[in-house]
C-alpha cells in the first residue's frame, strides 16, 4: 500500500495532500518526491512545476501547456528545480516553526521532532531548530539510550537545552554525562533516576552547570553518587538555585546531614522527596523546626514509607518556628504495619500550612479523625486516610472540606455504617458546589442508600471504588469509572 507524507492514502479516487494512519512508527519519505499523491502527468520532456489552487488542492502546470491562470494561487518559474518541496511554497518557515512549538509544548519534543525531521527539507530545517529542543524527555525508549545518541544530540540539537530526562539510561557513562555538561551550560533541570553513573560524573555536571535548579536521583543505584557526603556537596554547590531534590528509594541512612545542609544552604527549595520502599526501616532523624526556618518556600514534601525521628527541641523553639506556610502537598503514607508514625510529627509539619491541598496519611493506624481537625488547611482537595484507627467521627472530615474535596480515600476503615451514611450525606448535600471526582470506599460498610445519595449529589464524580464493601449486593462490589459509573447511575435511578 502506498504511503503519503504522513501516512497511507485512504481513497485513491479522493486524493488529499496527506492522511494519518495508526501505524505511527512507519518511516516517512524525506521529500514530496516520494508522496504517493504526487504524480506528475507529463512527458519526460516537460518541466513540471507544483502549484497550489485557491481551494488548497494541488495542480500541475506544464511548460508550454495552457493552464487556467485564475485557479493558480502560487506558481513558480520554469527554472525551479524539479525536486523543490511543496511545503516550501505553502507555509513560511516562521509559521511552521510556531506550529511545531505548539506541538512540542503540548506533546513534547520526542518523538514528534524526530519524525518531523524526515518529512521534507523545510520540515527538517524547522525541526532542527535548537529553540524547539529546550525541554526533552528521553526516558520513553523512542531512541537508543547510549552515549552515541547523546553525543549526536549534543552536537546538533542541544545548544539551548534547559531540561532533560535521562531516567533509567542504564548505559549512560561518565563520559556521556560530561559531554552533556560541556554542551549544555544553560541546563536547569536533569532527571537521572535509575542511572548508574558514579559521583565523578555527577559532580562534574554540578560544577559545570551553574544554573541547575532541579535534580532527580531517584533509585540511583548502588553507586556513591547518592551517599550523604556527595549529596551534601551537591546541595552546597547548588545552594540558592536549588528548587527540587528527589532522593527517593536510595535509603535514608545518614541523610540527617543532608537535611541540615538543605536548611543552611537552600532557602529557595520547593520540592523535597525522601520517600522509601516499604521494606526500609532505617529511621531518618532531623530537626523539623530547623528545616522550616531554612526552607520557608517548601511546597512539596514527600516522606512515604520514611520512618521519621524528629529531633527534640524546646517548646519555645517549636512555638517560634514559622512552619511551612507555602506547603501544598504532604505525603506521609505508610504501606507496612510494622511502622507506627508519630502524630506529633504531623502536627509539627503542618502547624502553619493553610495552603495545603494534598495530604496522604494512608496506613497511620494511630490516627483518628479528631487528629485531622488540627490540620489548618482550609481548602484541602486530596485526602488519603486509608487504614486509620477506628473512629466514627468521619462526618467531621466531610463537613470541614466538603466544599473543596476532589479525591477522598477512606478505604479499609472500620467506621460504622451510620457514621459513613452521615459523611456521605454531607458530601452529597450541595450538588451544585460539589467538586468530588474520585471516592474510594473499598472494604468499608457503606450502604446502598449512601451510594445512591453520593451518585445523585456528586455530579462530577467519575471514579468510585466499591470493592469488598460488605453491605452491598454481590454484583455491585467493584470499581467504577466514567462509562461504567454512568451506567451505575442509570441503574440506581431506575431502582
In a domain, 361, yes or no: no
Of 134-143, 174-183, 191-200, 415-424, which gets the smallest average pLDDT?
A: 134-143
In a domain, 158, yes or no: no
Answer whether residue 7 shows pLDDT above 60: no
In a domain, 106, yes or no: no
Considering the domain architecture, whether residues 236 and 350 belong to the same structural domain is answered as: yes
The tens digit of pLDDT for each residue in 402-449 reads 999 999 999 999 888 999 999 999 999 999 999 999 999 999 999 999
Considering the domain architecture, whether residues 452 and 414 belong to the same structural domain is answered as: yes
- What's the rounded mean pLDDT across residues 465-482? 93
Q: What is the residue-wise DSSP string for 232-297?
A: HHHHHHHGGG--EEE-TTS--TTTHHHHHHHHHH-TT--EEE----TT----EEE-HHHHHHH-TT
> Residue 140: pLDDT band by 50, 70, 90 thresholds?
confident
Answer whether residue 291 shows pLDDT above 90: yes
Considering the domain architecture, whether residues 393 and 277 belong to the same structural domain is answered as: no
Write down which residue in 87, 114, 140 finishes a domain: 87
Residue 439 is predicted with a pLDDT of: 97
In a domain, 134, yes or no: no
> What is the number of structural domains in the chain?
3
Considering the domain architecture, whether residues 388 and 325 belong to the same structural domain is answered as: no
Considering the domain architecture, whether residues 384 and 493 belong to the same structural domain is answered as: yes
Residue 342 is predicted with a pLDDT of: 82
In a domain, 35, yes or no: no
Residue 64 is predicted with a pLDDT of: 39
Residue 495 is predicted with a pLDDT of: 64
Answer whether residue 37 shows pLDDT above 50: no
Residue 88 is predicted with a pLDDT of: 59
Answer whether residue 41 shows pLDDT above 70: no
Does 223 or 452 have the greater pLDDT score?
452
Considering the domain architecture, whether residues 266 and 318 belong to the same structural domain is answered as: yes
Does 63 or 102 have the greater pLDDT score?
102
Residues ≥6 apart with Cβ < 8 Å to 341:
308, 332, 334, 364, 366, 367
Considering the domain architecture, whether residues 236 and 352 belong to the same structural domain is answered as: yes
Answer whether residue 27 shows pLDDT above 80: no
* Mean model confidence pLDDT for the chain: 83
Q: How many whole angstroms separate alpha carbon 304 and alpha carbon 388?
A: 15
CB 416 within 8 A of CB 389: no
Does 261 or 185 have the greater pLDDT score?
261
Q: Spell out the SS3 assignment of 391-422.
A: CCCHHHHHHHHCCCCCEEECCCCCCCHHHHHH
Answer whether residue 80 shows pLDDT above 60: no
Q: Of 27-36, 221-230, 412-421, give the range with the top mean pLDDT.
A: 412-421
Considering the domain architecture, whether residues 451 and 350 belong to the same structural domain is answered as: no
Q: How many whole angstroms separate alpha carbon 128 and alpha carbon 157?
A: 7
> Residue 66: pLDDT band by 50, 70, 90 thresholds?
very low
3-state helix, strand, coil split of the chain in percent (to 5) is: 35, 15, 55
Residue 224 is predicted with a pLDDT of: 87
The tens digit of pLDDT for each residue in 439-450 reads 999 999 999 999
Residue 279 is predicted with a pLDDT of: 72
Answer whether residue 204 shows pLDDT above 60: yes
Does 232 or 29 have the greater pLDDT score?
232
Write down which residue in 299, 322, 356 finishes a domain: 356
The tens digit of pLDDT for each residue in 299-322 reads 999 999 988 888 888 889 899 999
Residue 277 is predicted with a pLDDT of: 84
Considering the domain architecture, whether residues 455 and 490 belong to the same structural domain is answered as: yes
Answer whether residue 151 shows pLDDT above 50: yes
Considering the domain architecture, whether residues 289 and 403 belong to the same structural domain is answered as: no
Q: Among residues of the chain, what percentage have pLDDT more than 70?
A: 81
Residue 460 is predicted with a pLDDT of: 96
Considering the domain architecture, whether residues 385 and 350 belong to the same structural domain is answered as: no
Answer whether residue 77 shows pLDDT above 60: no
Considering the domain architecture, whether residues 232 and 343 belong to the same structural domain is answered as: yes
Residue 22 is predicted with a pLDDT of: 40
The tens digit of pLDDT for each residue in 369-385 reads 889 988 999 999 999 99
Residue 365 is predicted with a pLDDT of: 86
Q: How many whole angstroms separate alpha carbon 246 and alpha carbon 272?
A: 6
Please give the residue range of the domain that contains residue 441: 380-495
In a domain, 12, yes or no: no
In a domain, 343, yes or no: yes
- What's the rounded mean pLDDT across residues 314-338? 90
- What's the rounded mean pLDDT across residues 108-117? 90
The tens digit of pLDDT for each residue in 159-171 reads 999 999 999 998 8
In a domain, 9, yes or no: no
- What's the rounded mean pLDDT across residues 238-257? 92
Tell me the three cell numbers of residue 367: 490516627
Q: How many whole angstroms separate alpha carbon 481 and alpha carbon 449?
A: 20
Residue corresponding to grid cell 505511527: 24
Using DSSP bridges, classify how beta strands 48-53 and 58-62 pair: parallel, antiparallel or unpaired: antiparallel
Write down which residue in 19, 54, 87 finishes a domain: 87
Answer whether residue 249 shows pLDDT above 50: yes
CB 212 within 8 A of CB 239: no
Amino acid at each position: 500500500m502506498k504511503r503519503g507524507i504522513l501516512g497511507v492514502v485512504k481513497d485513491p479516487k479522493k486524493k488529499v495532500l496527506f492522511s494519518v494512519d495508526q501505524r505511527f512508527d512507519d518511516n516517512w519519505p524525506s521529500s514530496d518526491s516520494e508522496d504517493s499523491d504526487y504524480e506528475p502527468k507529463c512527458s519526460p520532456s516537460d518541466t513540471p512545476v507544483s502549484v497550489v489552487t485557491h481551494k488548497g488542492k494541488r495542480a500541475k502546470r506544464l511548460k508550454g501547456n495552457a493552464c487556467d491562470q485564475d485557479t493558480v494561487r502560487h506558481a513558480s518559474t520554469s527554472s525551479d528545480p524539479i525536486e523543490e518541496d511543496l511545503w516550501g511554497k505553502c507555509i513560511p518557515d516562521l509559521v511552521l516553526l510556531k506550529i511545531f512549538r505548539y506541538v512540542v509544548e503540548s506533546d513534547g519534543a520526542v518523538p514528534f521532532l524526530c519524525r518531523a525531521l524526515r518529512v521534507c527539507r523545510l520540515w527538517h530545517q524547522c525541526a532542527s531548530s535548537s529553540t524547539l529542543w529546550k525541554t526533552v524527555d528521553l526516558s520513553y525508549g523512542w531512541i537508543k539510550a547510549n552515549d552515541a545518541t547523546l553525543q549526536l544530540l549534543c552536537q546538533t540539537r542541544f545548544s539551548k537545552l534547559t531540561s532533560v530526562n535521562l531516567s533509567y539510561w542504564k548505559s549512560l557513562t561518565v563520559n556521556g554525562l560530561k559531554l552533556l555538561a560541556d554542551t549544555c551550560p544553560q541546563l536547569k533541570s536533569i532527571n537521572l533516576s535509575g542511572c548508574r553513573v558514579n559521583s565523578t560524573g555527577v559532580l562534574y555536571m554540578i560544577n559545570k552547570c551553574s544554573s541547575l535548579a532541579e535534580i532527580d536521583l531517584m533509585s540511583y543505584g548502588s553507586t556513591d553518587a547518592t551517599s550523604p557526603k556527595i549529596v551534601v556537596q551537591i546541595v552546597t554547590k547548588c545552594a540558592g538555585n536549588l528548587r527540587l531534590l528527589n532522593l527517593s528509594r536510595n535509603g535514608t541512612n545518614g541523610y540527617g546531614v543532608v537535611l541540615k545542609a538543605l536548611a543552611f544552604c537552600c532557602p529557595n527549595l520547593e520540592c523535597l522527596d525522601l520517600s522509601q520502599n516499604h521494606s526500609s526501616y532505617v529511621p531518618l532523624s532531623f530537626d523539623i523546626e530547623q528545616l522550616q526556618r531554612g526552607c520557608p518556600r517548601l511546597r512539596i514534601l514527600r516522606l512515604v514509607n520514611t520512618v521519621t525521628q524528629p529531633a527534640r527541641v524546646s517548646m519555645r523553639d517549636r512555638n517560634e518556628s514559622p512552619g511551612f506556610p507555602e506547603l501544598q502537598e504532604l505525603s506521609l503514607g505508610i504501606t507496612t504495619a510494622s511502622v507506627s508514625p508519630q502524630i506529633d510529627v504531623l502536627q509539627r509539619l503542618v502547624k502553619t500550612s493553610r495552603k495545603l491541598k494534598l495530604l496522604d496519611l494512608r496506613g497511620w493506624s494511630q490516627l483518628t479523625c479528631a487528629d485531622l481537625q488540627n490540620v489548618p488547611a482550609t481548602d484541602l482537595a486530596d485526602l488519603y486516610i486509608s487504614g486509620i484507627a477506628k473512629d466514627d467521627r468521619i462526618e467531621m472530615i466531610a463537613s470541614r472540606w466538603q466544599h473543596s474535596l476532589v479525591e477522598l480515600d477512606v478505604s479499609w476503615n472500620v467506621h460504622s455504617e451510620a457514621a459513613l451514611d452521615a459523611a456521605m450525606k454531607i458530601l452529597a448535600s450541595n450538588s451544585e458546589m460539589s467538586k468530588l471526582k474520585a471516592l474510594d470506599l473499598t472494604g468499608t460498610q457503606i450502604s446502598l442508600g449512601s451510594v445512591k445519595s453520593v451518585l445523585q449529589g456528586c455530579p462530577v464524580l467519575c471514579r468510585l471504588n466499591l470493592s469488598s464493601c460488605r453491605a452491598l449486593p454481590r454484583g455491585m462490589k467493584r470499581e467504577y469509572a466514567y462509562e461504567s459509573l454512568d451506567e451505575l447511575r442509570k441503574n440506581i435511578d431506575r431502582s
